[in-house]
Amino acid sequence: MFLQQLINGLMLGSTYSLLAIGYALVSGVLDLVHIAHGEVFMLGAFIGLQLVLFAKVNFFVAMLGAMTATLVLGIFIERAAFRPLQKGDFLSPLISTLGVALILQEFARNVFGAHPVGFPASFQIKSYQLGFLTVSTLHLIIIGLAFAMMAALHLFLTRTTFGLATRATAENALTARFMGINVNVVVVATFAIASAMAGAAGVLLGLAYNAITPVMGTQIGLKALAIIVLGGFGNITGAMAGGIILGLLEVMSVAYVSSTYRDAFSFGIIMLILIIRPTGLFGHRVHSEQ
Amino acid sequence: MLELVEVTTHYGPLRILHRVSLEVRAGEMVVLLGGNAAGKSTTILTILGAVKPTSGSVSFNGEAITGLPTEQIIRRGIALVPEARRIFRRLSVRENLALGAYRRRDGKDAIGADLELVYSLFPRLKERERQLGGTLSGGEQQMLALGRALMARPQLILMDEPSMGLAPALVEQLFELIATLHRRGLSIFLVEQNANLSLSIADRAYVLQQGSIVLSGTAAEVLANDQIQRAYLGA
Mean pLDDT, rounded, of chain A = 90
Nearest to A227 by CA among A33, A62, A79: A33
What is the pLDDT at residue A124? 64
Distance CA B89, CA B133 (A): 4
Nearest CA to CA, how far is B103 from chain A (Å)? 6
Nearest CA to CA, how far is A223 from chain B (Å)? 26
Residue of A nearest to B77 (CA): A180
With CB atoms and an 8 Å threshold, state whether B71 touches A287: no
| Per-residue CA distances from B181 to A58, A78, B115, B155, B202 (Å) | 63, 43, 16, 12, 12
Residue of A nearest to B138 (CA): A290
Residue of A nearest to B150 (CA): A179
B92 touches chain A (CB under 8 A): no
User: Is there a domain that residue A290 lies in?
Assistant: no
Binned at pLDDT 50, 70 and 90, residue B233 comes out as low
B88 touches chain A (CB under 8 A): yes
Whether residue A289 is predicted with pLDDT greater than 60 in this model: the reply is no
Whether residue A125 is predicted with pLDDT greater than 60 in this model: the reply is yes
Percent of chain A at pLDDT exceeding 90: 61
Query: Which of A181, A287, A290 comes nearest B71 by C-beta?
Result: A181
**Boundaries of domain holding A249:** 2-113+132-276
Percent of chain B at pLDDT exceeding 90: 80
**ipTM given for this complex:** 0.92
Is the CB of residue A194 less than 8 Å from the CB of residue A22?
yes
Query: Which of B83, B88, B148 comes nearest A171 by C-beta?
Result: B88
Residue of A nearest to B71 (CA): A180
Query: Which of A172, A178, A181 comes nearest B48 by C-beta?
Result: A178
Query: Which of B70, B91, B95 comes nearest A178 by C-beta?
Result: B70
State the Cα torsion B24-B28-B33-B37 to the nearest 10°. Answer: 50
| CATH number for the domain that contains residue A22 | 1.10.3470
Q: Is A131 exposed, middle or buried (0-12, 13-18, 19+ CB in 10 A)?
A: exposed
Q: What is the pLDDT of residues B20-58, one digit of tens each?
A: 999 999 999 999 998 888 899 999 999 999 999 999 999
- B 100-119 residues with CB < 8 A to A: 100, 102-103
Residue of A nearest to B100 (CA): A179
- Which residues in chain A are closer than 8 Å to B98, comparing Cβ atoms? 161, 164
Whether residue B142 is predicted with pLDDT greater than 90 in this model: the reply is yes
Residue of A nearest to B80 (CA): A178
Whether residue A72 is predicted with pLDDT greater than 90 in this model: the reply is yes
With CB atoms and an 8 Å threshold, state whether A172 touches B86: yes
What is the pLDDT at residue A290? 31
Which of residues A286 and A124 earns the better pLDDT score?
A124
Whether residue A285 is predicted with pLDDT greater than 70 in this model: the reply is no
Of B44, B60, B65, B70, which to mutate for an interface test with A (greatest number of A Cβ within 10 Å)? B70
Residue of A nearest to B164 (CA): A290
User: Is there a domain that residue A289 lies in?
Assistant: no
User: Is there a domain that residue A96 lies in?
Assistant: yes
Q: If DSSP codes are grouped into helix, strand and coil, which group holds residue A146?
A: helix
With CB atoms and an 8 Å threshold, state whether A164 touches B84: no
Nearest CA to CA, how far is B72 from chain A (Å)? 7
- Which residues in chain B are closer than 8 Å to A176, comparing Cβ atoms? 99
What is the pLDDT at residue A123? 63
With CB atoms and an 8 Å threshold, state whether B99 touches A179: yes
Beta strands B212-218; A127-130: pairing state:
unpaired
CB contacts < 8 A, A to B, total 67
Binned at pLDDT 50, 70 and 90, residue A287 comes out as very low
User: Is there a domain that residue A230 lies in?
Assistant: yes
Whether residue B144 is predicted with pLDDT greater than 90 in this model: the reply is yes
pTM equals 0.90
Q: Which of A98-112, A123-137, B4-18 bottoms out in mean pLDDT, i.e. has the lowest? A: A123-137
- Which residues in chain A are closer than 8 Å to B102, comparing Cβ atoms? 161, 164-165, 179-181
- Furthest-apart CA pair in chain A: how many Å? 60
Q: What is the pLDDT of residues A230-253, one digit of tens each?
A: 888 888 899 999 999 999 999 999
Q: What is the pLDDT of residues B80-104, one digit of tens each?
A: 999 989 999 999 999 999 999 999 9
Of A179, A287, A288, A289, which to mutate for an interface test with B (greatest number of B Cβ within 10 Å)? A179
Which of residues A191 and B234 earns the better pLDDT score?
A191
Number of structural domains in chain A: 1
Of B52, B76, B86, which to mutate for an interface test with A (greatest number of A Cβ within 10 Å)? B86
What is the pLDDT at residue A16? 95
User: Is there a domain that residue A52 lies in?
Assistant: yes
Query: Which of A161, A180, A287 comes nearest B75 by C-beta?
Result: A180
User: Is there a domain that residue A286 lies in?
Assistant: no
What is the pLDDT at residue A288? 38
Q: Which of A29-33, A49-53, A101-105, B215-219 bottoms out in mean pLDDT, i.e. has the lowest? A: A29-33
Query: Which of B75, B89, B103 comes nearest A171 by C-beta?
Result: B89
Q: Give φ, ψ of B72 to 5 degrees.
A: -75, -35
What is the pLDDT at residue B234? 55
User: Is there a domain that residue A86 lies in?
Assistant: yes
Mean pLDDT of B127-149: 94
